[in-house]
Amino acid sequence: MTTASTASSSSSAPFTPVRIPLDPQLVEIRHYLHAHPERSFREFETSKYLAGQLRDHGITVLDLPKPLETGVIGLIEGTAGPGPRVGLRADIDGLPVHEETGLPYASVNEGVMHACGHDFHMAGLLGAAFWLAEHRDRFAGSVKIVFQPAEELGEGAHRCIEAGVADDVDAMAGTHNNPNYKPGEVAVGVEPMMAGCVKFRVSLHATGTHAGYPHKGTGPIEALASMILALQTIVSRNVSPFHAVVVSITEVHGGDVWNVVPAEAGFQGTVRFFDQADERIVASRFREQVEDTARAYGITADIVWDVNQRPLVGDPKLSETVADDVPAYAKLRPIRPSMAGEDFEEFSRHVPVVFAFIGSNGELGCPDWHSPNFIGLDGAIEPAVNFYANAALRLLRELA
């Protein structure tokens, strides 16, 4: 950490944000990464590529005490003296989606696509890392570059934290491209940005029988149908209409023979929320409805309720400070909260965080994240580079 005298002298002069022009090589890098996506925890070639890019620009690639199987952690030491350490994070995994964009740099890995724009995140963070490495004399302290695996599984941040990535940092900044904003637009602030995420699974256990003799069993299909309908009333009848909460059942299974009443059935899905009190209400009513319905049909139910992430909210003071710098390099826009989840939230349980949406399309009706037709525009790269670099410089300054 910095000494008191260093902190005093560094904070006496006003902070001036930098404006970094787009390096054309970052467009080429982004196109290469888009064409070569890899699924969560399988990002082996992606990790090799990122590590190579860091080393080629004189950036140290760290060997962690508890190594990550995929993902890359770099370190850039400033030469302006001792100081705090901040982290910059980008996620690196693709999705099991068959790309249908027709782009000349579309995925060459069959059935895998950067349908959530993580190629932008990687290119933006690489650009910031290159600039910071070239301008070490502009900052005291150090910047940890975190290329995190498996965000799409909601497990990568936790794996990084277990490996000690957050142990020696004083704050972290992250981004997510957002096609609902135009390139050149950035949203960052103190409001909740991305929803808390629950993954639930219900398994129903009954007594199977011949379809012609349903009275000799206790089939689960009717109970399953009743539960699905009843669960859709939880939000409308238990949560304030001024709060955003979603209950979605996304997968249903039961039986595989036309003339057999199955003994097992089930369903799974997700709940999204911005208030943890709402999550507790939904969890309680969910269990009551499932268990009471199962009892009424003479069967039993097992429920798995896994809170993957809490709502993502940036540190108030640091987020406001970073937001103040955005107009120097992009158009600052209001936050429009997303019902998608983001495991960057886990870092906020250990260190203060700042998070930003980086506009990546903005056309009316454009496909959103996870669509096989998702198209992000290269114009998103430059604002991402500038956000990462300026957030690092500002956080180092504020924490000194």
- Taking the C-alpha atoms of residue 132 and residue 139, their distance in angstroms, rounded to an integer, is 9
Nearest to 202 by CA among 304, 272, 293, 289: 304
Asked whether residue 152 is marked as a ligand-binding residue, the answer is yes
- Distance, in Å, from the CA atom of 356 to the CA atom of 317, rounded to the nearest integer, reads 15
CA 73 to chain centre: 18
CA-nearest of 39, 77, 49 to 392 is 77
d(CA 54, CA 280): 44
The residue length of the chain stands at: 400
Beta-carbon contacts of 294 under 8 Å, excluding residues fewer than 6 positions away, are: 204, 223, 227, 300, 301
Beta sheet of 264-273, edge-to-edge order? 245-254, 264-273, 196-205, 300-309
For 319, the token pair is 């987020």
Secondary structure (DSSP) of 356-367: EEEE----TT--
**Cα separation of 148 and 72, whole Å?**
7
Q: Is 118 annotated as a binding-site member?
A: yes
Q: How many whole angstroms separate alpha carbon 107 and alpha carbon 31? A: 9
User: Which of the 8 DSSP states describes residue 110?
Assistant: T
The answer on whether 121 is annotated among ligand-binding residues is no
> For 78, how many CA atoms within 13 A lie in the half-sphere containing its CB?
24
Q: Does 57 count as an annotated binding residue?
A: no
Give one DSSP letter per residue of 12-73, joined into a string.
Answer: HSPP----PPPPHHHHHHHHHHHHS---TT--HHHHHHHHHHHHHTTPEEP--SS--SS-EE
User: Cα 184–33–30 angle (5° rounding)?
Assistant: 30
The two three-digit tokens of residue 80, written as one number? 């302006």
Termini Cα distance of the chain:
7
Residue 197 is labelled as binding a ligand: no
d(CA 387, CA 273): 27
The 10 Å Cβ neighbour count of residue 148 is 28
In the annotated binding site for Mn(2+), the residues are 116, 118, 152, 176, 370
In the annotated binding site, the residues are 116, 118, 152, 176, 370
